[in-house]
Chains A and B, each alone.
Chain A
Amino acid sequence: MIPAAFDYVAPTTVEDALAALAQYGDEAKIIAGGQSLLPVLRMRLNAPEWIIDLGKIESLRGIRDDGDAIVIGAMTPHSVVGSDPLVAEHAGLISKAVEHLADAQVRHRGTFGGALAHADPAGDLGAPALALGAQFVIAGSGGTRTVAADDFFVDLFETAIGEDEILTEVRIPKHTGWGACYEKFVRVAHQWPIVAVAATVKVDGGTISEARIGLTNMGSTPIRARAVEEALAGQSLSEDVVRAAAAKAADGANPPSDLNGDADYRRHLATVLTRRAVVAATGG
C-alpha cells in the first residue's frame, strides 16, 4: 500500500540531522534501513510529515576497534556486522544473532542501530547487546551522552533515545575468548523469534568464570536471565549444573501470549533453549 505523503531530507552530518529533528519535532521520523519503518508507513499505522534519512551520514557507518570495546556505527547494515571479523572475534554473540536475523534482503538494508532503536522485544539484537553490556551513544542538541544497556530498553518499542536525539553508535565491551550461542526458536525461517536465548560464557579450566545471558521476547524489553547467570558463575561445567541453572531462565520474566504460544509455553521454551545455548556456548 501507498504511505501517506511526506517530505524528505537526507542530511550528511549528525549535526544537520539533529537540526532537522529539532525543527520538525514530532512531525518527523528518522529512517535508517527502513525495514521496520516502511511497513509502518505503508500500512498507514503512522504518517509523519517529515522523513529524515540518515543514509547519507558516512560517520554513522562502520565498525572499529577502540581498545577494550568494539564500536559499531548505528547505520552499519546487519550484513556488514554479521561478516565482520572484529565482531566475530570480540563479540561473537552478535555475529551469531545476526546470522539468524530475518533474510538476506532485510540484512542488507536493515541497520544495527535501527534495529536497536526500534526496540521490538522480538528483535534479535537487543538480548545480545544487553548480555554483552553494550553502551549506547546518543547525540542530541545538547551534546552526546552514553546510556548503559540496562537503561536503554524502556518498554515495548521504547528506548532511552529522546524524540530529538539520534543513536550514533554502540560500544560493545570486548568478550574475547568467550563462547557464544544464539538459540532462536521459530516456526518458519523468516520469522521473528518466538523466544530466543543469547548466551555468552567464559570458561577457565573447566570452571564457568562468568555467564551472561539475554532473553528475547520474554517480556516487553529484552531481559537478562540473572538467576541463571548467578547459578552458573563459579561452577565447574557439567550437564547437571547447566540443566539446574537453566531451569531458572524464566524467573521473573513476563512473556507475551500470541498466535505462536502462550506465556507458559514461552517460559518452558526459555528453560530448554537456555540449557541448549549454554551447552553450545561452552563447547558442548
Chain B
Amino acid sequence: MTATQERPADEVEREIGRDRRRKEDQRLITGRTRWTDNITLPGMLHLAMVRSPFAHATITSIDTTAAKASTNVVAVLTGADFGDELGVCINAWAITTDQVTPTHSPMPSDRVSFAGEIVAVVVARTAAEARDAAELVDVEYDELPAALDLKKAAADEVLAHPDLGTNKSALWVFDSGEAGTGGNVEEAIAKARTDGIVIEREYRQQRLIPAFMEPRSVVVDPTGEQNTMWSATQIPHIVRFALAATTGVPESKIRVVAPDVGGGFGGKLQVTPEEWIAWAVGRRLGKPVKYTETRSESLLSAHHGRDQWQKLTLAAEKDGSVTGFKVELLADLGAYVAIVGGGVPVLGAFMFNSIYKFPAYHFACQTVLTNKTWTDAYRGAGRPEATYAIERIMDELAAEVGVDPLVIREKNWIKHEEFPFTTVAGLEYDSGNYEAATARAKEMFGYDELRAEQKQRRESGDTVQLGLGISTFTEMCGLAPSRVLGQLNYGAGGWEHASVRMLATGKVEVITGASAHGQGHETAFSQIVADRLGVAFEDVEVLHGDTQISHKGLDTYGSRSLVVGGEALVRAVDKVIEKARPIAAHLLEASVDDLEYSGGRFSVKGTDQGLAIGEIATAVFTAHNLPDDVEPSIDAEATYDPVNFNYPHGTHLCAMEVDTETGAVKMRKYVCCDDIGNIINPLIVAGQVHGGLVQGIAQALWEEAVYDDAGTLVSGSFVDYLLPTAADTISFEVDHTTSPSTTNTLGTKGVGEAGTIASTPAVVNAVVDAVRHLGVNDIQMPCTPERVWKAINGPGSGGATEGAAMPHFESGGAAGNQEQPGQSSTEGAGS
C-alpha cells in the first residue's frame, strides 16, 4: 500500500476506494456467459429425479418398467442399483465427538426421511423425456410417523431415524465460568432474581429458504483421464475433496469447475445428492450427463436455513448493567446433518454476547434431527440468529428499566478505547468504535424527531403507530483461523490461496481459491492488484472456480473472500515484486538497495532510470539476460491462514409504521452506519449492504418455510414463499465509519453478511416498539399483518400460521388427469 500511496498525484487514480463498476456485470447481466445449465457436451444425456412425496416412509417397491420403456430413456436407476460408487453426502463438522449422524446416502433404497428425497433417477436423451419418464416410475411406500415439530422431535416422541434411537444429534456447550473467560451465569441469574432484573424470553428463528436466483445444476463429463464436474456451487474445491473422499475416485482424477454461479447465500455451500448421483450415473454410463433442478425442486430439497428455538435468560442490575446471559437453543437439522449443518448454531455461539460486556455467559445448543429438508448455512449462518436474540432482548431490558434502548446499549457496550477487547466468549475484537457509528446513524435517522412523532401518535391514538428499532450488531467473519477450526473439530482449515502470473505481454493473471458467485471478486481483486503492483485495472484478469486453474482453495462463504483471500493475494503480489527486484537491479545495472518500487516501476534512486514490472515480465519470458541462479519466473503464490476472525459492526436504525386496524406494517425509514474497516470498492459494498438488508428484512417480515402436519412443504413456490421485490422496499441510507482491522494488511472487514445479520432485529424491534404501549412485547417472525393484529388484539404473539397454500394454479376443468405430486404414493416425480 505504501508504494501506491507514494505515487505522484498526476499518476493514475488510486484503485482502492474507487467505485469501479463491476467488470463481470456485462456478461452476468446479459447472460453472455456460461452458467452450468448452458453447458452442452456431445452425446450428453439428461437426468430427472424421482422424489418422495412423503416425509417419512419405507420404500416397499420401485417399478421402473414403464419408465424404462418410455421414449428415449437410456436408464432408470434406483439406490439398489448402486454400490459404494455412489458415495455419501458428508458432514464435515461433527460438533461433538459423540454427535449422532445418520448416514446420508444420495439415494436411499430402503427408507425416505423427508419429502423431496430422491429415490430414483431417470436418464434420457432430452430433459423433457427424462421428466416424462420420471412420472412413470411407480414407487410403493409404507408411510411412517414423521418427526416434524422441533420441540416434539427434541423430546424423541417420534423418531426421524428409528434405527438411531434418538433425534438428539449433539449438545454443544460453552460456559464462561468453565472456560475461564468470565463468571458463572447461574450465580449472576440468582443474584439478579433477588436484587436485579431477569428477562426471560423464547424467540423463534423461522425456517428460511436461500432462494438463490440460478437453480442448482450439474454437468458431469466422464471422458478422459480426469473426470470433470461442472456445478453451480460455492465450493468447487470442497466438492472435489468430498468426491474423492467418498467415492473412491482419486482426487487427482477429479476436476471440479464452478463456472459463473448465480447466487448462493450459503445455499450452494453443500455437497448435494444431485451432484453425487450425476457423478455416479455419468461414470457408470460413460456419457456426459446433466441435471438442472426446477424451482420447485430447489425450494423443496436444496438446504434450508435458520430454524431454531432460542430460550434466553438475561440478568442485569436494576440500572440495566448486564451481569449474565444464558442461551439455550434447539436447532433443527432436518433429516441429515449437512456439510456444516450442526456447526451453524456453533458459529453463533460466540456472538450472543455481541458488543456488550457480559461478565458471565452460558451457551448450550441441542441439534435435532427431524423429517424435514436438511438445514445448513444461510447468509450469516448462526450470527443472524445470535444477533436477533441479543438485540431483541436488549430492547426488552430497556423497556423493563424504562430507558431508551440506545441508552441501555451504550451503558453496556465496549468503549472504543477498550479495543482490542477479549470478550466473555473468548474472542479478541481487534477494532471498533460503536459510539462513532451510533452517533452517525442517529444523525442520519433524525432519531429525536422520530421519537417526538412517535409520542405524538401515541398520545393522539392514531390508528397508524410508529416504532423505532435499533440493532447495534457485530459479527465474526473471515472464516477462519485453521487452528480455531481444529479446536472446534471442523474437518478442514480456513486458509486461502492466491497466485499471480506475470504474462510475457505485461498482463497479469490472478488466481484465487475463493469462488465468487455474484460478489464481484473479479473487480475488487483487480483493484487490489492494480494498486499494489502498479498495473492498470484493465490489465488484471482474475481467475477462479476451476480446480485445474485454481488448484488450491477453500472457496467463498462466511465473508471470507476479501479478508482471507485478499490477504493471500496481497502476499502473492508482494512476492512478485520481491522476485522481480534482483532482476531489475541486474538489468538496470544498479544495486538492489538503490532500487525503489512505486507506480509499477523499479527506479534507481536519484536517477531517471527505471523499468516497469511489465518490462521485467518480458525479460523473464525471453530469459536472455538474467542474473545467475535466478529462475526465469516472477510468478508467485501465497497461502494465508488468518490469525483471527474479523469483526465488522454497525448501528442500524429502522422506523416502522403499524396500521393497528389491519396489522399491516410499512417501512418508513432505514439507515445504517457500518464499520467494515477500509473499503476497496464502495459500489460493491453498497450492493452487498442493500442486498443484505433486504434479505434480513425479509426474514423479519415475509419469508417462512412452512410444513403441514404431513410434512409437506406448503410454501413450495414463490406464490407462498414470499420474496420481496424492489416494490416492497424503500431507499436505504447507508454510511460508514472506519476502524481498520488490525489483523490484515488492507485493514478490511467482511461485508457479505453484515446487512442480513443486522437488519432483522432492527425491523422486529421497530414493529414491537410501535405497539408496545398496547401490551405487546413480542411478535413471531415473519411479522405478518395477521400476527401483528392478533398480538395487538389478544394474548400471545399470533404464532401459528395455517398450514395451507393459496391454490392459484389448480388443475381445474378439462383434462385434469394428473394428480398433484405429494398426493399420490405412486407418483414420485418432483415437480
Chain A interfacial positions (CB closer than 8 Å to B): 1-2, 4-5, 25-29, 36, 39-40, 43-49, 118, 120, 122, 156-158, 163, 185, 187-192, 194, 256-262, 265, 268-269, 272-273
Are A185's CB and B802's CB within 8 A? Answer: no
The residue on A at minimum CB distance from B724 is A188
The residue on A at minimum CB distance from B661 is A272
Tell me the complex Cα distance, A83–B810, Å.
30
Are B131's CB and A2's CB within 8 A? Answer: yes
B residues near A40, Cβ cutoff 8 Å: 809-812
A residues near B809, Cβ cutoff 8 Å: 36, 39-40, 43, 45
Partner of B815, one of A26, A158, A194: A26
Are B811's CB and A26's CB within 8 A? Answer: no
Known contacts A28-B814, A49-B815, A261-B802, then 11 further A-B pairs from the complex at CB < 8 Å, ordered by chain A residue: A1-B831, A2-B127, A4-B132, A40-B812, A44-B131, A44-B829, A46-B817, A47-B815, A259-B804, A265-B789, A268-B789
Nearest chain A CB to B71 CB, angstrom units: 9
Nearest chain A CB to B813 CB, angstrom units: 7
Interface status of B818 (Cβ within 8 A of chain A): yes
Partner of A259, one of B805, B808, B815, B817: B805
Show 21 A/B contacts (Cβ-Cβ < 8 Å), sorted by A. A1-B294, A1-B295, A1-B831, A2-B131, A25-B814, A43-B831, A45-B820, A47-B817, A158-B812, A163-B813, A185-B662, A188-B727, A189-B727, A258-B802, A258-B804, A259-B706, A259-B714, A259-B720, A259-B804, A260-B784, A261-B802
Encode contact with A along B168-184: 1 for CB under 8 Å, 0 otherwise. Answer: 00000000000000000
Given A45-B810, A47-B815, A120-B808, answer yes or no on A1-B784 (Cβ-Cβ < 8 Å). no
Tell me the complex Cα distance, A268–B661, Å.
9
Partner of A191, one of B295, B722, B807: B722
Are B715's CB and A190's CB within 8 A? Answer: no
Are B806's CB and A259's CB within 8 A? Answer: yes
Tell me the complex Cα distance, A2–B297, Å.
13
A residues near B704, Cβ cutoff 8 Å: 259
Given A29-B815, A185-B664, answer yes or no on A265-B790 (Cβ-Cβ < 8 Å). yes
Given A5-B128, A192-B806, answer yes or no on A157-B720 (Cβ-Cβ < 8 Å). no
A residues near B790, Cβ cutoff 8 Å: 265
Are B706's CB and A190's CB within 8 A? Answer: no
Tell me the complex Cα distance, A2–B294, Å.
9
Tell me the complex Cα distance, A265–B831, Å.
32
Given A44-B135, A188-B725, A258-B802, answer yes or no on A122-B818 (Cβ-Cβ < 8 Å). no
Nearest chain B CB to A177 CB, angstrom units: 30
Nearest chain B CB to A162 CB, angstrom units: 10
Nearest chain A CB to B667 CB, angstrom units: 12
Interface status of B296 (Cβ within 8 A of chain A): yes
Are A260's CB and B132's CB within 8 A? Answer: no
Q: Kindly identify, within residues 769 to 805 of chain B, every residue whose CB is under 8 Å from any CB belonging to chain A.
A: 784-786, 789-790, 801-805
The residue on A at minimum CB distance from B130 is A2
A residues near B801, Cβ cutoff 8 Å: 259
Tell me the complex Cα distance, A142–B813, Å.
21
Given A1-B296, A190-B725, A269-B662, answer yes or no on A29-B814 (Cβ-Cβ < 8 Å). yes
Tell me the complex Cα distance, A265–B791, Å.
12
Tell me the complex Cα distance, A158–B811, Å.
11
Partner of B813, one of A1, A29, A192, A256: A29
Chain B interfacial positions (CB closer than 8 Å to A): 127-128, 131-132, 135, 294-296, 661-662, 664, 701-702, 704, 706, 714-715, 717, 719-720, 722-725, 727-728, 784-786, 789-790, 801-818, 820-821, 829, 831
Are B662's CB and A45's CB within 8 A? Answer: no
Are B810's CB and A257's CB within 8 A? Answer: no
Partner of A187, one of B702, B802, B812: B702
Tell me the complex Cα distance, A29–B815, Å.
7
Tell me the complex Cα distance, A157–B806, Å.
12
Given A40-B811, A120-B808, A261-B785, answer yes or no on A46-B816 (Cβ-Cβ < 8 Å). yes
A residues near B722, Cβ cutoff 8 Å: 187-188, 191
Tell me the complex Cα distance, A262–B802, Å.
7
Are B815's CB and A260's CB within 8 A? Answer: no
Nearest chain B CB to A5 CB, angstrom units: 7
Nearest chain B CB to A26 CB, angstrom units: 5
Tell me the complex Cα distance, A118–B784, Å.
28
Are A189's CB and B725's CB within 8 A? Answer: yes
Tell me the complex Cα distance, A259–B785, Å.
11
B residues near A185, Cβ cutoff 8 Å: 662, 664, 785
Given A1-B296, A189-B727, A265-B789, answer yes or no on A26-B806 (Cβ-Cβ < 8 Å). no
Nearest chain A CB to B791 CB, angstrom units: 12
Are A157's CB and B784's CB within 8 A? Answer: no
The residue on A at minimum CB distance from B723 is A188
The residue on B at minimum CB distance from A28 is B814
The residue on A at minimum CB distance from B827 is A44
Given A4-B132, A188-B728, answer yes or no on A47-B818 (Cβ-Cβ < 8 Å). yes
The residue on B at minimum CB distance from A268 is B789
The residue on A at minimum CB distance from B821 is A44
Given A2-B128, A187-B785, A188-B724, answer yes or no on A44-B702 (Cβ-Cβ < 8 Å). no
Instruction: Report the 5 A-B pairs with minimum CB-CB distance, sorted nearest first.
Output: A189-B727, A157-B812, A48-B815, A1-B294, A46-B811
Given A44-B831, A47-B818, A192-B806, answer yes or no on A260-B786 (Cβ-Cβ < 8 Å). yes
Are A272's CB and B662's CB within 8 A? Answer: yes
Are B815's CB and A258's CB within 8 A? Answer: no
The residue on A at minimum CB distance from B704 is A259
Interface centre among A26, A47, A188, by most chain B C-beta atoms within 10 angstroms, is A188
A residues near B294, Cβ cutoff 8 Å: 1
Are B789's CB and A192's CB within 8 A? Answer: no
Tell me the complex Cα distance, A5–B70, Å.
13
Are A157's CB and B814's CB within 8 A? Answer: no
Tell me the complex Cα distance, A261–B786, Å.
6
Tell me the complex Cα distance, A256–B127, Å.
38
B residues near A268, Cβ cutoff 8 Å: 789
Nearest chain A CB to B819 CB, angstrom units: 9
The residue on A at minimum CB distance from B716 is A43
Tell me the complex Cα distance, A211–B291, Å.
57
Are A45's CB and B818's CB within 8 A? Answer: yes
Are B786's CB and A262's CB within 8 A? Answer: yes
A residues near B812, Cβ cutoff 8 Å: 40, 46, 118, 157-158
B residues near A269, Cβ cutoff 8 Å: 662
Tell me the complex Cα distance, A26–B814, Å.
5
Are A36's CB and B725's CB within 8 A? Answer: no
The residue on A at minimum CB distance from B126 is A2
A residues near B803, Cβ cutoff 8 Å: 259
Nearest chain A CB to B792 CB, angstrom units: 11
B residues near A43, Cβ cutoff 8 Å: 296, 717, 809, 831
Are B804's CB and A256's CB within 8 A? Answer: yes
Nearest chain B CB to A121 CB, angstrom units: 9
Are B818's CB and A46's CB within 8 A? Answer: yes
Nearest chain A CB to B254 CB, angstrom units: 30
B residues near A26, Cβ cutoff 8 Å: 814-815
The residue on A at minimum CB distance from B715 is A259
The residue on A at minimum CB distance from B726 is A189
Given A190-B727, A257-B802, answer yes or no on A156-B808 (Cβ-Cβ < 8 Å). no
Interface centre among A191, A256, A261, by most chain B C-beta atoms within 10 angstroms, is A261
Are A260's CB and B813's CB within 8 A? Answer: no
The residue on B at minimum CB distance from A21 is B814
Are B813's CB and A157's CB within 8 A? Answer: yes
Nearest chain B CB to A27 CB, angstrom units: 6
Interface centre among B132, B815, B820, by most chain A C-beta atoms within 10 angstroms, is B815
A residues near B789, Cβ cutoff 8 Å: 265, 268
Tell me the complex Cα distance, A110–B36, Å.
32
Tell me the complex Cα distance, A168–B789, Å.
43
Tell me the complex Cα distance, A238–B559, Å.
59
Tell me the complex Cα distance, A71–B664, Å.
37
Tell me the complex Cα distance, A47–B817, Å.
7
Interface centre among B128, B706, B809, B817, by most chain A C-beta atoms within 10 angstroms, is B809
A residues near B135, Cβ cutoff 8 Å: 4, 44
Tell me the complex Cα distance, A2–B129, Å.
10
